[in-house]
Copies of this chain bind each other. A is one copy, B any other.
Amino acid sequence: MLTAKVKWAGDMQFVGQSGTGHAIVMDANVDFGGEDSGMRPMELLLIGLGGCSGMDIVSILKKKKQDIRDLEIKIKGQQADKYPKRFTEIEIEFIVKGKNLSEDAVKRAVELSMEKYCSVKATLEYSAKVTHSYKIENIE
């Protein structure tokens, strides 16, 4: 069981604290009465997806003895036009940098995360079509 609490901090500012003890500020933009002092709640879902899959891919590539040096993940989320504006489509792109990386190993790591391990992806894909891609940059 995961837990969290969220507390109103005035106007549209909220402080979220996770059960593991870490905190984050959320806020709305000025048009919605906020001051843009922190992330939008929907952005947290995209970042969670990136973190979850990133942890999987680093773990798997290290187990496969791949010399991974950098991993950057770009995520885009499309919402429905009408309220409640759930996510309907999410694109995630993995840019993997390393030395002599095997394309097979990277492809397999991405697939294992997307299809077997990533809890955030497995949750979001019930609402949104999640598509993924990857790029490999081998460095000298």
The docked-state distance in angstroms from the alpha carbon of A76 to that of B32 is: 27
Q: How many copies does the complex hold?
A: 2
Interface presence of A127 (CB below 8 A): yes
Say yes or no: is A111 at the interface (Cβ < 8 Å to chain B).
Answer: no
Q: Is the CB of A12 within 8 A of B77?
A: no
Instruction: Indicate if the CB atoms of B54 and A39 lie closer than 8 Å.
Output: no
Given contacts A24-B24, A44-B45, A123-B45, contact A4 B75 (CB under 8 A): yes
A window 18-74: CB within 8 A of B = 18-20, 22, 24-26, 28-29, 32-34, 36, 38-52, 54-55, 58-59, 70-74
A105 within 8 A of B: no
CB atoms of A38 and B55 under 8 A apart:
no
A139 within 8 A of B: no
Residue ranges of A at the interface with B (Cβ–Cβ < 8 Å): 1-8, 12, 14, 16-20, 22, 24-26, 28-29, 32-34, 36, 38-52, 54-55, 58-59, 70-79, 83-87, 116-128
